[in-house]
Amino acid sequence: MAVFTPVTPDQARAFIADYGLGALSEIAPIAEGVENTNYRIETAGGRHVLTLFERRTDAAGLPFCLGLTDHLAGRGFAAPRPVRGASGDWIGRLNGRPAAVIQWLQGAGLHTPTAVQATAGGRLLADLHLKAADFAGRRANPVGPAQWRLLAEKCDHRAAGDSRRMLEALVAELDRLEPLLPDGLPSGAIHADYFPDNVLYEGDRPGGVIDFYFAHVGAWVWDLAIALNAWGFDTEGRPDEAVLSAFLRGYEQGRRLERAEVEALPVLGAASAVRFTLTRLHDQLFHDPDWLVTPKDPAPFFARIAFHRAASPADYGLAPA
């Protein structure tokens, strides 16, 4: 359950009065998610999500994130449109947090995607990249290498036992990776949290993409490396070659990778595994029992690092050029 900042029905009613959605009939906390507070709201104007932005979602980045979903929806891509308040703004304030009302999309996120679903998910990611290519917004990665170091330093105050061993290995991996991180790769606005639970499916068909709050301008293959880590491994962190190659096949149906991007996969795969291991480790170590949220396990992401360290580009299952 992700509720960091509780909202009463009366508070929600007062807040959405500004959004022209008519009367509120129901408000229910949403069980999934770990970053922001989310409620499903039922109004005369239909079902929406009420989101209060927390923690890693800096207010300054929100015009980029919401602007990107609006841009994509305008291009016919199924991203949820934010609703404008009476002032014309997407972003208001509720209980001390920036807050927004977001269009509800049909479908359900996946936990263990099949190869067929992965191909469709990969194809959709390429579509996202191409349709976002002319989006003019700018935002640097809010959880980039500088933040990984800060997260590691913060974790250092609390980590003990297994967590400490994991943290030490992560810092060593960061030292190895930092000089290897490539630049100058094809880039644009990217999702940066393209996990199967953020792609809403109806059967094998992906109907929409949500949760653009880590979105920023970055290398397309960085987004792809994040997605491969999220889609192509089992719950223990072991690679599933069939799903990995299915996702890549789908992506390349929409956009062919350049040679430099293919060569960057092992380093970016390891770096993105470090990034998600660190945020999960941090959230586990700094969990507040008053929050209605279930922190995610860092161990399966930590396990992915070994695969990427040993991998060559061919191990991701790309068809030969």
Ligand X SMILES: N[C@@H](CCOP(=O)(O)O)C(=O)O
Q: Which residues bind ligand X (CB under 6 A)?
A: 32-35, 193, 195, 197-198, 211, 276, 279-280, 296
Report strand pairing: 92-94 vs 46-52. Answer: unpaired
Min dist CB 7 to ligand X, Å, is 18
Cβ(316)–Cβ(252) below 8 Å? no
36 binds ligand ADP per the rule CB under 6 A: yes
Which residue in 34, 35, 52 sits closest to 97, CA to CA? 52
Tokens read off for 24: 């509120």
Q: Which CB atom, from 38 or from 277, has the smaller least distance to ligand ADP?
A: 38
Q: Which ranges in the chain belong to alpha helices (H)? A: 9-16, 62-74, 115-132, 145-156, 161-177, 220-231, 241-254, 259-285, 299-310
Distance CA 126, CA 257 (A): 10
State how far the alpha carbon of 29 is from the alpha carbons of 3, 12, 34, 48, 188, in Å: 7, 12, 13, 12, 34
> Residue 80: which of ligand ADP, ligand X, none does it interact with, CB under 5 to 8 A by kind?
ligand ADP
Min dist CB 219 to ligand X, Å, is 19
Min dist CB 277 to ligand X, Å, is 9
Amino acid letter at 285?
L
CA angle 170, 175, 150 (to 5 degrees): 65
Residues forming beta bridges with residue 49, ordered by sequence position:
40, 102
| Binding track, positions 202-231, relative to ligand ADP; x by CB under 6 A | --------xx-x------------------
Cβ(244)–Cβ(227) below 8 Å? no
Tokens read off for 237: 């962190």
Q: Which CB atom, from 3 or from 24, has the smaller least distance to ligand X?
A: 3
Min dist CB 260 to ligand X, Å, is 27
- Size, binding site for ligand ADP by CB under 6 A: 20
Query: What phi and psi, each to the nearest 5 degrees, are found at residue 99?
Result: -145, 155
Distance CA 263, CA 314 (A): 9
Min dist CB 226 to ligand ADP, Å, is 14
Min dist CB 134 to ligand ADP, Å, is 23
Amino acid letter at 304?
R
| 33, 98, 122, 237: which one binds ligand ADP (CB under 6 A) | 33
> Residue 102: which of ligand ADP, ligand X, none does it interact with, CB under 5 to 8 A by kind?
ligand ADP
Min dist CB 258 to ligand X, Å, is 27
109 binds ligand ADP per the rule CB under 6 A: yes
> Residue 218: which of ligand ADP, ligand X, none does it interact with, CB under 5 to 8 A by kind?
none
> Residue 245: which of ligand ADP, ligand X, none does it interact with, CB under 5 to 8 A by kind?
none
Q: Which CB atom, from 34 or from 311, has the smaller least distance to ligand ADP?
A: 34
| Binding track, positions 77-106, relative to ligand ADP; x by CB under 6 A | ---x---------------------xxxx-
Distance CA 244, CA 232 (A): 5
Residue nearest ligand X by beta-carbon distance: 33
The residues near 103 (Cβ < 8 Å, ≥ 6 apart) are: 48, 49, 73, 80, 81, 82, 83
| 30, 133, 306, 318: which one binds ligand ADP (CB under 6 A) | 30
173 binds ligand ADP per the rule CB under 6 A: no
Q: Which CB atom, from 42 or from 197, has the smaller least distance to ligand X?
A: 197
34 binds ligand ADP per the rule CB under 6 A: yes
Cβ(147)–Cβ(252) below 8 Å? no
